[in-house]
C-alpha cells in the first residue's frame, strides 16, 4: 500500500479549516488510494479548538487517516510536509491600510516559508488560501529559496468555480458543458473572469451569451464580488466553498486536469501574456505529471487586455509594497 502523504494545514481551527480537514481525511484531496497524515498549525490560543476538531476527525474513523498532530510552531508543523495548505492569515482590521495588512501577513508567511525551506519534503506543494493570497504565496516562496519556485501557488479556484456556475445559469446549461473558462490576475476585486475563450457544448461561450453588457455589468462584478455577497447573506465569509476549491486545486495539481479542458490557478509567471515574470498571478492552466503548465497561445483582445493588465498592475503594486518592507 502507498506511503501516507503529510498534509500541513495552517489556520486549522478556523472556519475553512473545519470544512477542509474532513474532506482531506476522507481521501478527497489526493484520491481514495492515498493515506494521509494531518499536521495542523494554529496560534497558541486556538490549539485547544484544533484539538477539538482532531477529536471529531478521530470520531469519523476515516480509513485513510493515519495520524493527526497539532502544533503552534511552524518549524515543527512543516517537518516532512508534502502538501501545505496555508489558510491561516491576518484579516484586514478596521482602518488598516493595504501596507499594514501586507506587513502583518509577512509576519505569518515569512516564518512559514523559512519552515518549509528547512523541513518540508522534497516534493512539497504549497497553496496559499489566506488573503491577500497571491502576495502571501510570493512572500512564502521568497523565504524558501531551496524549493522550486513553481511549487508555490495561490488559490483562484473558488473564483473559477463561481464563474462556472454564473455562466451555466445564464446559458441554462450544466456545469459539465462548460470548458476553458479562465480567471486572470489577482484573487481580489480586480480579478478578470474571462469567457472569451470558454466553450459551451463545443461553441464559444461569449458568442453563446452574445451580451457584452451582461459580461461587463453583471457576470464580472458578480464573480468578483461574490465573497462580499456571501458575507452579506451568511454573516460569515465563504468557508465550505473555499475548502472545496482548495481540494479541487490540489487534487488537480497532483492528479492532473482532464484532457480538452483547463482550470485557473495562480502560479509564478514565466512572462506569459505579458505578466511580469515571478508574479504569482492566475492563468489558464493544465496540470500534467504533477506540475502546472500555463496554457499558451490564446489571443487576447483589447477588452481582455485591459482587464488583465489592471489586475496584474495591482499584483505588481503589492509586490512593490512587500519589497519596500523587505519581505521579498
Nearer to ligand NAX, 161 or 209 (CB): 161
Considering only 5, 9, 30, 46, the residue that binds ligand NAX (CB under 6 A) is: 46
Report, in Å, the least distance between residue 297 CB and ligand NAX.
Answer: 28
Residue 183 marked in a binding site: no
DSSP 188: S
Nearer to ligand NAX, 6 or 131 (CB): 131
* Interface with ligand NAX, residue 87, by CB under 6 A: yes
Residue 92 marked in a binding site: yes
Residue 305 marked in a binding site: no
Look at the block and give the residue holding cell 456556475: 165
Radius of gyration of the chain (CA): 19
Phi-psi region of 132 (alpha: psi -120 to 50; beta: other; left: phi over 0): beta
Give the side-chain half-sphere CA count within 13 A for 81.
34
Considering only 5, 64, 83, 158, the residue that binds ligand NAX (CB under 6 A) is: 158
Nearer to ligand NAX, 88 or 284 (CB): 88
Q: Report the DSSP beta bridge partners of residue 71.
A: 41
* Interface with ligand NAX, residue 237, by CB under 6 A: yes
Residue among 191, 209, 190, 211 at smallest CA distance from 200: 209
Report, in Å, the least distance between residue 261 CB and ligand NAX.
Answer: 20
The Cβ of residue 1 has, within 10 Å, a number of other Cβ atoms equal to 6
* Interface with ligand NAX, residue 190, by CB under 6 A: no
Nearer to ligand NAX, 72 or 309 (CB): 72
Considering only 162, 187, 197, 249, the residue that binds ligand NAX (CB under 6 A) is: 187
* Interface with ligand NAX, residue 20, by CB under 6 A: no
Q: What is d(CA 312, CA 45) in angstroms, rounded to the nearest whole number?
A: 37
Active-site choice (143, 160, 187, 249): 187
* Interface with ligand NAX, residue 113, by CB under 6 A: no
User: 225 is written with which cell numbers?
Assistant: 464580488
Q: DSSP assignment of 7-59, as one string? A: EEEETTTSHHHHHHHHHHHTTTTT-TT--EEEEEE--GGGHHHHHHHHHHHHH
Q: Is the peptide bond before 132 cis (omega within 30 degrees of 0)?
A: yes
Nearer to ligand NAX, 13 or 308 (CB): 13
- Whether 187 is a known active-site residue: answer yes
Catalytic residues: 187
Residues at the interface with ligand NAX (CB under 6 A): 10-11, 13-17, 41-43, 46, 87-89, 91, 108, 129-131, 133, 155, 158, 187, 227, 237-239, 242
Amino acid at each position: 500500500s502507498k506511503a501516507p502523504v503529510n498534509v500541513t494545514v495552517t489556520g486549522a481551527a478556523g472556519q475553512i479549516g473545519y470544512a477542509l480537514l474532513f474532506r482531506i481525511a476522507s481521501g478527497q484531496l489526493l484520491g481514495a488510494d492515498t493515506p494521509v497524515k494531518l499536521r495542523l498549525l494554529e496560534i497558541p490560543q486556538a490549539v485547544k479548538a484544533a484539538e477539538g476538531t482532531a477529536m471529531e476527525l478521530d470520531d469519523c474513523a476515516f480509513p485513510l487517516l493515519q495520524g493527526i498532530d497539532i502544533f503552534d510552531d511552524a518549524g515543527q508543523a512543516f517537518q516532512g510536509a508534502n502538501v501545505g495548505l496555508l489558510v491561516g492569515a491576518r484579516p484586514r482590521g478596521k482602518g488598516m491600510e493595504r501596507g499594514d495588512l501586507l506587513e502583518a501577513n509577512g509576519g505569518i508567511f515569512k516564518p512559514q516559508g523559512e519552515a518549509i525551506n528547512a523541513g518540508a519534503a522534497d516534493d512539497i506543494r504549497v497553496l496559499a488560501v489566506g488573503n491577500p493570497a497571491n502576495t502571501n504565496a510570493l512572500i512564502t516562496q521568497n523565504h524558501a529559496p531551496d524549493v522550486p519556485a513553481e511549487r508555490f501557488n495561490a488559490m483562484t479556484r473558488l473564483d473559477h468555480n463561481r464563474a462556472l456556475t454564473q455562466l451555466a445559469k445564464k446559458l441554462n446549461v450544466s456545469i459539465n458543458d462548460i470548458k476553458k473558462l479562465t480567471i486572470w490576475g489577482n484573487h481580489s476585486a480586480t480579478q478578470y473572469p474571462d469567457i472569451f475563450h470558454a466553450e459551451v457544448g463545443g461553441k464559444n461561450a461569449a458568442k453563446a451569451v452574445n451580451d457584452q453588457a451582461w459580461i461587463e455589468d453583471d457576470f464580472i462584478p458578480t464573480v468578483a464580488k461574490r465573497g462580499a455577497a456571501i458575507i452579506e447573506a451568511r454573516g460569515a465569509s465563504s468557508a465550505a466553498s473555499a475548502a472545496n476549491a482548495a481540494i479541487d486545486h490540489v487534487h488537480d495539481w497532483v492528479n492532473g486536469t482532464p484532457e480538452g479542458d483547463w482550470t485557473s490557478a495562480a502560479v509564478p509567471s514565466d512572462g506569459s501574456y505579458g505578466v511580469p515574470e515571478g508574479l504569482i498571478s492566475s492563468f489558464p492552466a493544465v496540470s500534467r505529471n504533477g506540475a502546472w503548465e500555463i496554457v499558451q497561445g490564446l489571443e487576447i483582445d483589447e477588452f481582455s487586455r485591459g482587464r488583465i493588465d489592471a489586475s496584474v498592475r495591482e499584483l505588481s503594486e503589492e509586490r512593490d509594497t512587500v519589497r519596500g518592507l523587505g519581505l521579498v
